[in-house]
Structure 1
């Protein structure tokens, strides 16, 4: 008896239209599959990913908790020489030009036009808002106190300068912009734990320090004033033409940043010390390049990297 061979033929799947194929992909009533998987298959893969991501999140959270155990929210782990900031503070100036011209350092305005110089005074209003006496808010104002060389800040307290007494350079006087004699505010950048090494001995003053600043320090020292405990400030024109056009300068309330502001230790409410530089009679209609420097034995200057100094231009029409 001859074996009967059974021939089997492969039947191709039926040709389905796009909509019919998509409908069957969403729900196949013959196999009970939804989007290519049965309910049991979907349950297994969902359970797998829930467990997988839960373990992953738990591991990440545990590592983050361990990491935060090594940090103090109030004290940086790397300080001074061991930090990226280093030990050489820079200077900043206010008011800043508009954000639309972020690379500019030019302060240019027309003194006879309130709308024109109003931008600069509003910028100073916003910057100095934190320096004005305000009601206690979240305990910040409670940490601030008036200071002077005979009255440094108490432990846990910080100094609040009385900027309203700064004569020409206050809000009530529009910072003198309407008189073509603007005030530019300088601030020393904060470095945690940095303590200035003050120039209070005329025999150790650097040769490149301006002569008028040397005379000022010598006068303070001869009268045994406590104000010698200061990070000194100087502002000069960068070229001989700028020196000729810059005119007389006043430093308010004094010519530098008082030593009792240092070191910065991140005390709540801390405010960087300020110096208002009043340019009494800059030449009108002329662009003046100005460089201001902070002076201490451990502040080093580099014009190209702007270390320990700041550059800006002033033009008053």
Structure 2
């Protein structure tokens, strides 16, 4: 009898175990679901990290721009009036090899820092202060500042284009800071007046802007830059120079001094070329800005 019950119990146990044994299909399906859920969680975390990173970089970029802007505004009082070139080092030299990033990063960073004031992002975020101005603007409301954003400096002299480094066509930012009590007056070129100056400016003249020109300091320097007759030796942006409307209101916090980006297209390699740039206004240095150091600036370019 005992043997009979043992056999019955064993039979029931086998049936019971068969009943609770996991189905192979269900097990495979469960693993697949878990895999999909795990993959979705990983993707979600990656997207979340990417969003956080983008937000951080955006805020950090704006913060750095504001810090640089604040420093430049604080240092403005230390600047003497005149025409200033940004890009050259403290010795007035731009020297690098387009093939060696170790030689051009300092130059690149100097331009990046100098352009912080003209950040499109910072100005667009403060439209209660910055307003659009043009040659028809005759008055700037108190507390307002005319916008001057990076797009005005042309496509070739931009951060994403490495300021012309890769092509061996370096860019220089020229900033004009006249005396506080002075409103620049463009030269009059009508009726054949000021012919020599007109030759330097060419068709970039405007009665509503202070023109600027850059050339070789000596005849030898100028000849070195004339190696390619089919290429403009120098490009200017804005082409007409420094618009007069930027001088209408200069005592507002956040004021932007007008600037022109200049690109040198024909500097030969392995040869030092000395450059002189001049802002042309008839009330600068008694009508001869090229003869003084205030409204003319000099630097040199050496491409390796």
TM-score normalised to structure 1 length:
0.61
> Aligned match of 1:175 in 163, 170, 180?
163
Q: Call closer, same or farther: CA 1:96–1:204 in 2, change over 3 Å.
A: same
> Aligned match of 1:113 in 96, 100, 103?
100
What displacement does 1:116 show? 1.3
> Aligned match of 1:273 in 258, 281, 286?
258
> Aligned match of 1:93 in 70, 85, 89?
85
- 2:201 equivalent in structure 1: 213
> Aligned match of 1:203 in 185, 191, 201?
191
What displacement does 1:125 show? 0.8
Tell me, yes or no, if the aligned pair for 2:140 and 2:248 is still in contact at 8 Å: no
Q: Call closer, same or farther: CA 1:211–1:235 in 2, change over 3 Å.
A: same
What displacement does 1:255 show? 3.2
- 2:136 equivalent in structure 1: 150
Q: In 2, distance between residues paired with 1:136 and 1:164? A: 12
Q: Call closer, same or farther: CA 1:206–1:136 in 2, change over 3 Å.
A: closer
TM-score normalised to structure 2 length:
0.64
What displacement does 1:262 show? 1.0
Q: In 2, distance between residues paired with 1:270 and 1:109? A: 33
Greater Cα offset, 159-168 or 200-209? 200-209
Q: Call closer, same or farther: CA 1:233–1:171 in 2, change over 3 Å.
A: same
Q: In 2, distance between residues paired with 1:186 and 1:293? A: 10
- 1:222 equivalent in structure 2: none
Q: Which whole-Å deviations, capped at 9, do the CAs of 1:94-118 have from their partners, x for residues lacking one?
A: 0141xxxx4x111111111122111
Tell me, yes or no, if the aligned pair for 1:90 and 1:309 is still in contact at 8 Å: yes
Tell me, yes or no, if the aligned pair for 2:145 and 2:249 is still in contact at 8 Å: no
- 1:128 equivalent in structure 2: 115
Q: Call closer, same or farther: CA 1:249–1:290 in 2, change over 3 Å.
A: same
- 2:300 equivalent in structure 1: 313
- 1:231 equivalent in structure 2: 210
Tell me, yes or no, if the aligned pair for 1:200 and 1:229 is still in contact at 8 Å: no
- 2:24 equivalent in structure 1: none
Q: In 2, distance between residues paired with 1:135 and 1:187? A: 19
Q: Which whole-Å deviations, capped at 9, do the CAs of 1:229-251 have from their partners, x for residues lacking one?
A: 11110111011110011241110
Tell me, yes or no, if the aligned pair for 2:224 and 2:268 is still in contact at 8 Å: yes
Tell me, yes or no, if the aligned pair for 1:110 and 1:117 is still in contact at 8 Å: yes
Q: In 1, distance between residues paired with 2:289 and 2:140? A: 35
Q: In 2, distance between residues paired with 1:235 and 1:241? A: 15
Q: In 2, distance between residues paired with 1:200 and 1:210? A: 9
Does 1:260 find its partner at 2:248?
A: no
- 1:242 equivalent in structure 2: 221
Q: Which whole-Å deviations, capped at 9, do the CAs of 1:241-291 have from their partners, x for residues lacking one?
A: 100112411101213100111145311110111111111121111110111
Instruction: Please provide the CA RMSD for this pair.
Output: 2.6
Q: Call closer, same or farther: CA 1:316–1:146 in 2, change over 3 Å.
A: farther
- 2:281 equivalent in structure 1: 296
Q: In 2, distance between residues paired with 1:141 and 1:126? A: 22
